[in-house]
Amino acid sequence: MHWSPRFHAAYRAVGGGLDFAAFDSFFKVSDDALARLPGIEALGFRAAIEAEARLVVELLPDQVDAAALARRLHADALEIVARNLPILERLARRYRLGVVSNFTGNLRPCLEELGLARFFAVLSDSTLVGWSKPDPRIFAHTLAALQVSPQRAWMVGDNFEADIRGAAGLGIRTCWLAPSERTAPPGAGLVPTVRISRLPDVEEVLE
């Protein structure tokens, strides 16, 4: 699930009344504001969640508790991390892993706080490297840092345009992580190498 619907689900759970389409427009504004927040580069995961919760609540027409929204988001995220931690541990023992992310400059402190940074040899944060997915330069930068050719790499991602199309343009094999009901964008003209609906399935793909 992408961050906007994740925020919306938490917002509804703490009493918000807007439907997703209405909420999403406010979330996009708050996301842009988060990227411009002074000191964002130093914020860990919980602080970043709390900052964005405050930003979006300030924009919304209805009143919800920003602290309650942040707590729910944070708790949900920790459950997902705990569930997937064994998978990352196994993968990191067998492969050189990297993250390619359109992020706000604080990818490393977020992953360090969550106990995940240790699994990745390379962290490519778009704000820090200067290119955003699907720009091929951010993928090329990551491949160079990993010291691997495109033909020997896989990109696992949930965003078809940014992750799958961006990586495929360099000849990287792609694994699209998406629920079965999600369809590729109209006119995509691209078929991912593999499609999975659950992260644990990536182990079988790589084997």
pLDDT of residue 95: 96
Give the separation between CA 98 and CA 146, rounded to whole angstroms. Answer: 7
196 φ/ψ angles, rounded to the nearest 5 degrees: -130, 155
3-state secondary structure labels for all residues of 26-53: HHHHHHHHHHCCCCHHHCCHHHHHHHHH
Tell me the per-residue pLDDT of 157-185, one tens digit each, with 9 for 90 and over.
999 999 999 999 999 999 999 998 989 88
pLDDT of residue 187: 79
Q: What is the CATH number of domain 90-206?
A: 3.40.50.1000
Mean pLDDT on 62-82:
96
Tell me the per-residue pLDDT of 83-141, one tens digit each, with 9 for 90 and over.
999 999 999 999 999 999 999 999 999 999 999 999 999 999 999 999 999 999 999 99
Enter the pTM of the model. 0.92
**Listed residue (116, 83, 91) closest to 207, CA to CA:** 91
Cβ 138 vs Cβ 158: under 8 Å:
no
pLDDT of residue 186: 85
Q: Which positions ≥6 away from 177 have C-beta within 8 Å?
A: 156, 157, 158, 196, 197, 198, 199, 202
Give the separation between CA 178 and CA 66, rounded to whole angstroms. Answer: 29
DSSP letters spanning 106-169: -HHHHHHHTT-GGG-SEEEEHHHHS--TT-HHHHHHHHHHHT--GGG-EEEES-IIIIIIHHHT
pLDDT of residue 161: 94
Share of the chain above pLDDT 90, in %: 93
pLDDT of residue 45: 98
